[in-house]
């Protein structure tokens, strides 16, 4: 897996680009100190004027309203509005057409960052004045969550929208929205923390700083001094990884939508890492410092705002999936190569649009692009079954023997390998694009999904009709980290396995009701699970 970079030959902006934001998976806007907002077409890498800002307005950040909510996503996966922050102490609510709907006095000094909550009900802003503020969707101040002695360079929401994370000086702080709740604070870097991001799917935190040192906390929170520019932490502030020192400060970090990858930006540097911290790709574009990084909704490409006026685009290529004797690798943006390791036979599959997702299993290869879903049979790679996608923003594919599940933007659907749709799953009060492989399971007759709002709950669905099975849910006593479902036997014998936050493993029957449901503990100290097929 690596990054393939694309940039215009000459910068389209005449001054520093401070932020970028994705409208859809193929459209992006960028804002700059030259007071221009440009709209980019990712197919042609061409930019066109989107809006012109006043000469006194210097933008610092932009964030689109969450997709899939009222006033958010429409067909095609885009959003209808975004927030723009500036050095004049205001934030601006701007429509998709570029019209300023509202300007709000927010901070004394520059507003350095703003983030919509995942449910779209609240807006977080941080500024030079050290204030961390929560606003309503319409721009009304709800609370000043924290007041710090120095500038707050970044902030973001927890996956449950109940807490916020922000960086000030050398510290990272997690603060609950509940009154009188004690904040969690720890020293993350030996220098100023410049960027931070909190993954909604993996619940991990990544931070980047000015220093050339890092601190690792073990299980007893003892400190070992080493050198680093960026770190990965879990949702409780426990360190998971710290990198070696870079030559320059880390100015931008950002998680992909699935939480399995993150990108790191520095001076003339763009790095791709997995959630364990391992580096998969290091690129050295001549862009100056990369001040802002944003991932596309489908998690297959990213864009960076650069100090020399450039906007750098990067596609993830050489994705690799394996199943038994078959291996599929995305060799180019629109090309997948399949290899049979037993016979060394190779097939090259050319697609019309860029590849966004790959899944291989049960004798089938499922490939999604920006517009269509291709199902290839291993017995005949030349005759795929092709179906159109509703939104063209696939974030997850889960396969079973007779059907597969696709998360396409805000839609969760199950279809057969001959292209026939079976059902759509309706998950109450939950954003489907935050689902991951660890929180979704599928068999021929049953689909299981962990609830994002209440992580102690698992929803049970009939994979054919989409209706709830049994009680419709499994309730556990602790937050659930991972689930899996068995593939063998009849539907009456179907079992779901889970690992909770204490790393204990439990097993439960699917088709049981009320007090008859039993959850049995079968293991301890487990980090992951898979059920033998």
| Residue-wise DSSP of 30-84 | EEETTSEEEEEETTTTEEEEEEE--TT--EEEEEEPPTTSTTS--TTS--SEEEE
Alpha-carbon span 110 to 130, nearest angstrom: 10
Q: Give the model confidence (pLDDT) of 347-368 as tens digits.
A: 999 999 999 999 999 999 999 9
**92 contacts 84 by C-beta, under 8 angstroms:** yes
Please tell me the distance from the alpha carbon of residue 381 to that of residue 113, in angstroms, as a whole number.
48
Query: What are the φ and ψ backbone dihedral angles of 176, each rounded to 5 degrees?
Result: -80, 150
Q: pLDDT of 102-149, one tens digit each? A: 999 999 999 999 999 999 999 999 999 999 999 999 999 999 999 999
CA distances from 498 to 84, 456, 458, 502 (A): 41, 10, 9, 11
- Could you tell me which residues come within 8 angstroms of residue 361 by beta carbon, excluding any fewer than 6 positions away? 323, 399
Spatial CA neighbour of 204 closest among 152, 140, 158: 158
* Sequence-separated (6 or more) residues with CB below 8 Å from residue 175: 132, 145, 146, 163, 164, 165, 166, 181, 183
According to DSSP, residue 247 is labeled S
**Calpha distance 408→25 (Å, rounded):** 12
2-317 under CATH 2.130.10.10, yes or no: yes
Q: Are 295 and 255 in contact (CB under 8 A)?
A: yes
Terminal Cα-to-Cα distance of the chain (whole angstroms) = 27
**CB-CB contact of 525 with 511 (8 Å):** no
For every residue of 195-213, which 3-state class applies, written as one string?
A: EEEECCCCCCEEEEECCCC
At residue 492, the 3 state secondary structure works out as helix
Contact 301, 356 (CB under 8 A): no
* Third-level CATH fold of 438-533: Thrombin, subunit H (2.40.10)
Distance CA 519, CA 316 (A): 41
Strands (E), 57-213: 59-64, 81-86, 90-95, 100-105, 111-116, 122-127, 131-136, 141-147, 152-157, 163-168, 171-176, 184-187, 193-198, 205-209
- Report helix, strand or coil for 10: coil
Contact of 20 with 294, CB cutoff 8 Å: yes
Picking from 133, 16, 115, 26, the residue whose alpha carbon sits closest to that of residue 63 is: 115
Query: Which residues make Cβ contacts (< 8 Å) with residue 426, sequence separation at least 6?
Result: 466
Task: Find out whether 112 and 153 touch, Cβ atoms under 8 Å.
Answer: yes
CA proximity to 441, closest of 388, 393, 494, 477: 494
Q: How many CB atoms lie within 10 A of CB 180?
A: 5
Domain locations in the chain as residue ranges: 2-317, 438-533
Q: Half-sphere exposure (CA, 13 Å, Cβ side) for 23?
A: 20
Residue-level pLDDT, tens digit, the chain, 533 residues: 999 999 999 999 999 999 999 998 889 999 999 999 999 998 888 999 999 999 999 999 999 999 766 544 444 445 789 999 999 999 999 999 999 999 999 999 999 999 999 999 999 999 999 999 999 999 999 999 999 999 999 999 998 899 999 999 999 999 999 988 899 898 888 899 999 999 888 888 889 999 853 332 322 233 333 334 556 666 666 677 777 888 899 999 999 988 899 999 999 999 999 888 888 999 999 999 999 999 998 889 999 999 999 999 999 999 999 999 999 999 999 999 999 999 999 999 999 999 999 999 999 999 999 899 999 999 999 999 999 998 878 989 999 999 999 998 888 999 999 999 999 998 877 778 788 999 999 999 999 999 988 899 999 999 999 999 888 889 999 999 999 999 988 888 899 999 998 999 999 988 876 655 678 999 999 988 988 76
What DSSP character marks residue 445?
Answer: S
The C-alpha atoms of residue 513 and residue 522 are separated, in whole angstroms, by 21
- The 3-class secondary structure across 267-306, one letter per residue, is ECEEEEEECCCCEEEEECCCCCEEEEEEECCCCCEEEEEE
Partners of residue 85 on adjacent β-strands: 61, 91
């Amino acid at each position: 897996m690596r990054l393939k970079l694309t940039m215009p030959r000459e910068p389209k902006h005449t001054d520093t680009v401070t932020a970028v934001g994705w409208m859809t998976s193929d459209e992006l806007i960028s804002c700059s100190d030259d007071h221009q907002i440009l709209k980019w077409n990712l197919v042609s890498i061409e930019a066109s004027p989107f809006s012109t800002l006043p000469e006194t307005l210097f933008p610092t950040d932009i964030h689109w309203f969450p997709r899939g909510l009222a006033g958010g996503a429409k067909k095609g996966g885009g959003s209808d509005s975004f927030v723009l922050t500036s050095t004049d102490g205001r934030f601006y609510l701007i429509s998709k057409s570029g019209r300023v709907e509202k300007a709000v006095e927010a901070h004394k000094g520059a507003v350095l960052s703003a983030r919509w909550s995942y449910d779209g009900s609240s807006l977080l802003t941080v500024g030079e004045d050290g204030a961390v503020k929560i606003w309503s969707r319409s721009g009304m101040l709800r609370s000043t969550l924290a007041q710090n002695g120095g500038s707050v360079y970044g902030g973001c929401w927890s996956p449950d929208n109940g807490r916020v994370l922000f960086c000030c000086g050398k510290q990272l702080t997690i603060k609950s929205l509940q009154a009188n709740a004690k904040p969690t604070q720890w020293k993350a870097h030996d220098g100023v923390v410049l960027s931070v991001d909190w993954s909604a799917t993996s619940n991990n935190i990544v931070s980047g700083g000015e220093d050339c040192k890092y601190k690792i906390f073990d299980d007893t929170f003892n400190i070992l001094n080493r050198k680093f520019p960026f770190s990965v932490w879990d949702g409780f502030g426990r360190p998971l990884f710290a990198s070696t020192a870079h030559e320059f400060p880390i100015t931008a970090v950002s998680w992909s939508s699935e939480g399995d990858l993150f990108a790191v930006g520095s001076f003339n540097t763009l790095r791709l890492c997995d959630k364990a911290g391992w580096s998969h790709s290091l690129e050295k574009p001549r862009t100056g410092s990369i001040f802002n990084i944003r991932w596309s909704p489908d998690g297959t490409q990213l864009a960076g705002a650069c100090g020399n006026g450039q906007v750098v685009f990067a596609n993830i290529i050489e994705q690799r999936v394996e199943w038994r004797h078959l291996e599929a690798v995305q060799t180019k943006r629109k090309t997948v190569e399949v290899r049979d390791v037993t016979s060394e036979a190779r097939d090259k599959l050319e697609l019309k649009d860029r590849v966004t997702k790959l899944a291989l299993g049960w004798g089938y290869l499922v490939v999604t692009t920006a517009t269509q879903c291709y199902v290839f049979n291993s017995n005949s790679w030349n005759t795929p079954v092709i179906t159109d996608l509703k939104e063209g923003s696939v974030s997850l594919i889960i396969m079973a023997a007779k059907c597969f599940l696709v998360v396409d933007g805000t839609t969760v659907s199950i279809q057969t390998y001959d292209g026939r749709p079976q059902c759509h799953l309706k998950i109450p009060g939950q954003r489907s694009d935050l689902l991951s492989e660890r929180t979704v399971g599928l068999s021929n007759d049953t689909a299981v999904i962990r609830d994002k709002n209440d992580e102690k709950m698992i929803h049970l669905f009939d994979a054919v009709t989409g209706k709830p099975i049994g009680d419709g849910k499994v309730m556990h006593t602790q937050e659930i980290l991972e689930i899996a479902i068995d593939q063998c036997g009849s539907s009456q014998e179907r079992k779901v396995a889970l690992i909770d936050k204490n790393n204990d493993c439990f097993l439960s029957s699917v088709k049981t009701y009320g007090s008859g449901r039993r959850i049995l503990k079968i293991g301890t100290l487990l980090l992951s699970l898979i059920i033998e097929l």
